[in-house]
């Protein structure tokens, strides 16, 4: 069945902007995005490490990974493979081999609104993978699907080229436009929270955190 490729690649945000978010907690990024929900229901399955990069999006029929295989021929350094599998948990879309292909292509990691398998391979590696569930049952390979179109991941709309950040708390994403201002706001909140923690340790805390 048909696989529609809207673009073989998408423009990436400036590298310095992406790097600026590398150590920014997703919770603080989310706070500065109006505390909207982001991707709900996804969990990290890798050993450790943060996810940061630009979205390379895939929409596939639930339980079918043909389009992901096609996408793996196109991804490269800096790409986060974002897969809209409709939240289906009955068949795994990605396993150990597809993890290794993505690593070989120098992609940054996976975000999958669906299931994975070979979970031990992910748990023993620092290659980031966020997914909804684990199941042993394999996928169909019939299509259809779309590549580099806007997708929905756990209630969050992600467009090709959006910045994607993932850590132990989950995954957030946002357009490159406005990212510089967002980064500044995130840095200011990190400093405020560091100052609050210091005040607590030193016995100077006055209850200011509950007012922010």
Please tell me whether 118 is known to bind a ligand: yes
Please tell me whether 98 is known to bind a ligand: yes
CB 151 within 8 A of CB 67: no
What letters, b where the CB count within 10 A reaches 16 and e where it falls short, cover 110-139? Answer: bbbbbbbbbbebbeebebbbbbbbebeeeb
- Rounded to whole angstroms, the Cα distance separating 54 from 148 reads 11
DSSP H/E element including 198: helix 179-201
List the end-to-end C-alpha distance of the chain, in Å, as a whole number. Answer: 52
Please tell me whether 97 is known to bind a ligand: yes
Residues in binding site: 95-98, 117-118
Residues in binding site for Mg(2+): 118
Residues in binding site for substrate: 95-98, 117
């Amino acid at each position: 069945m048909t696989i529609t490729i809207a673009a073989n690649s998408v423009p990436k945000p400036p590298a310095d902007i992406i790097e600026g978010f590398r150590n920014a907690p997703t919770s603080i990024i989310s706070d500065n995005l109006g505390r909207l929900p982001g991707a709900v229901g996804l969990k990290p399955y890798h050993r450790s490490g943060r996810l940061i990069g630009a979205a390379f999006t895939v929409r596939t029929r639930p339980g079918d990974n043909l389009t992901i295989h096609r996408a793996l021929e196109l991804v490269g350094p800096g790409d986060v493979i974002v897969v809209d599998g409709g939240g289906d948990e009955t068949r795994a879309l990605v396993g150990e081999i597809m993890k290794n292909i993505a690593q070989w292509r120098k992609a940054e990691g996976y975000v999958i609104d669906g299931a994975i398998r070979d979970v031990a391979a992910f748990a023993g590696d620092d290659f980031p993978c966020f997914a909804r569930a684990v199941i042993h049952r394999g996928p169909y390979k019939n299509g259809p699907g779309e590549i580099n179109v806007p997708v929905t991941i756990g209630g969050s709309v992600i467009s090709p080229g959006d910045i994607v950040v993932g850590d132990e708390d989950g995954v957030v994403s946002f357009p490159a436009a406005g990212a510089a201002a967002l980064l500044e706001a995130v840095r200011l909140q990190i400093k405020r929270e560091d100052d609050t923690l210091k005040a607590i340790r030193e016995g100077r805390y006055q209850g200011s955190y509950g007012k922010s």
